[in-house]
Amino acid sequence: MSRPTGRVLTLLELLQSGGIRTVAELAEKLGVDGRTVRRYVEHLIDLDVPVEAVRGRYGGYRLGPGYRLPPLMFSDEEALAALLGLVAGRRAGLMTAADTASETAAAKIRRVLPERLAHRLDAVLDSLAFTAPPGESATPDAEVLLTIADAVRHRRPVSVRYVDRNGRRSERPLHVYGIVAHAGRWYVTGAVPGTGPAPGTGEDRTFRLDRIEGARNLPGSFEVPDGLDPAERVLSGLATAAYRYEVTLRIQGTPEQIRARLPASVATLEELGPELGPELGPHPAEGAAAERWLRVEVRAERLDWLPPVLAALDRPFVIERPDELRSLVVEFAERVASCARRT
């Protein structure tokens, strides 16, 4: 490839990245002068690539909207990033289409790569192993995701058709504050207007995106509360969702120590007052002032995972409820002691 032809293709790559590129910027990237940049632009126009000239103080060149570009050119690092992204997304359950879509996309990228680079990437993929099997999360609908993302950006109300865990279908308006990916699933957090305690307010809700069958825009707009963090809302919503067991504990330690084993998506923490009663005794001495007694609430479908977690915490704790957890902790401690005696 001659150097001028290579620079023309590099110019196309720069324009493909989007936005308006000034002549000075392009000249610096290509290592040529402004007059040569204009000549390269003319070469692209001769190839029917719709390069538009934008006049004004911040003018330059950009690609015309809606144009289907020629095959993209990947460097070694870009091709590896694209393929690994598809593989990792499929393994994490965060794809927005069926598995076949990610597989065919990866195959298309693989097919157009130079033979040398393709063999190197095959070596990476063949030698790559994962520590856990791929998740079995349901796949969200891509059109639903795009509609809701547009509503988030422009603060437009939407109406969503939702199927709950029991298979019940409903349709409701929603002010969507954000989309959150967590633990292999997509979640939508927002407020259902007209259901809050005050006129014009809404009840905070979190929905699984894969359970939304359809979404359509509604007229109007809404305001997002100041300081709202969609990810934090989803985590707190998961921690307080209705489950079979409601567990209440009191654990002595710092929030960081407890969060290391019971993250925000699993448990809520509340610091207790200075008077804890004779059952727990006083707070730690001055040198351990950071370690406080905290009330920890966990909602869970099963209890069998909690005894080893509490043991791994290695902090003093008291079980308030349920009684079944006390029995499981005692049984777990007896099994550990029995194993130690046999050893």
Q: Residue 205: which H helix or E strand, with range?
A: strand 202-208
Shared domain check, 158 and 111: no
Shared domain check, 151 and 229: yes
SS percent in the chain: helix, strand, coil, step 5: 40, 25, 35
Q: Report the pLDDT averaged over residues 137-158.
A: 85
The mean pLDDT value of the chain amounts to 81
Give the domain extent around 119: 76-127
Q: Is residue 53 part of a domain?
A: yes
Question: Would you say 121 and 110 are in contact if contact means Cβ atoms under 8 Å apart?
Answer: yes
Shared domain check, 214 and 159: yes
pLDDT of the residue at 285: 46
Shared domain check, 14 and 82: no
Task: Name the 3-class secondary structure at 102.
Answer: helix
135, 137, 141, 145 alpha-carbon torsion, rounded to 10° = -80
Shared domain check, 255 and 217: no
Shared domain check, 338 and 252: yes
Give the number of other Cβ atoms within 10 Å of residue 229's Cβ: 13
Nearest by Cα to 294 from 266, 277, 318: 318
Render pLDDT for 186-222 as a digit per residue (tens, 0 to 9): 889 999 987 766 655 678 888 988 899 999 999 999 9
Stated pTM of the model: 0.53
Q: Report the pLDDT averaged over residues 91-95.
A: 64
Q: Is residue 90 part of a domain?
A: yes
DSSP per-residue letters across 25-78: HHHHHHTS-HHHHHHHHHHHHHTT--EEEE-STT-EEEEPTT--PPPP---HHH
Last residue of a domain, one of 179, 203, 235: 235
Render pLDDT for 219-249 as a digit per residue (tens, 0 to 9): 999 988 888 888 888 887 777 666 788 899 9
Shared domain check, 280 and 229: no
What CATH number has the domain bearing residue 43? 1.10.10.10
Q: Is residue 293 part of a domain?
A: yes
Q: Is residue 71 part of a domain?
A: no
Q: Residue 204: which H helix or E strand, with range?
A: strand 202-208
Residues in Cβ contact with 311 at an 8 Å cutoff, skipping those fewer than 6 apart: 332, 333, 336
pLDDT of the residue at 329: 94
Task: Name the 3-class secondary structure at 176.
Answer: strand
Shared domain check, 166 and 229: yes
Last residue of a domain, one of 63, 91, 112: 63
C-beta contacts of 188-197 below 8 A and 24+ residues apart: 188/148, 188/160, 188/212, 189/230, 189/233, 189/234, 189/237, 193/157, 193/222
Shared domain check, 157 and 182: yes
Question: Which residue has 């939407």 as its token pair?
Answer: 158
Q: Is residue 257 part of a domain?
A: yes
Last residue of a domain, one of 235, 263, 294: 235
Count CA within 13 A, CB hemisphere, residue 5.
Answer: 3
What CATH number has the domain bearing residue 267? 3.30.70
Shared domain check, 272 and 322: yes
Q: Report the pLDDT averaged over residues 94-108.
A: 66
Shared domain check, 83 and 37: no
Distance of alpha carbon 96 from alpha carbon 90, whole angstroms:
9
pLDDT of the residue at 133: 59
What CATH number has the domain bearing residue 208? 2.30.30
Shared domain check, 298 and 263: yes
Q: Say what percent of the chain tops pLDDT 70.
A: 81
Question: Would you say 59 and 66 are in contact if contact means Cβ atoms under 8 Å apart?
Answer: no
Q: Is residue 133 part of a domain?
A: no
Which is more confidently placed, 299 or 36? 36
Q: Is residue 68 part of a domain?
A: no
Please tell me the total count of domains within the chain.
Answer: 4
The one-letter amino acid code at 17 reads S
Q: Is residue 137 part of a domain?
A: no
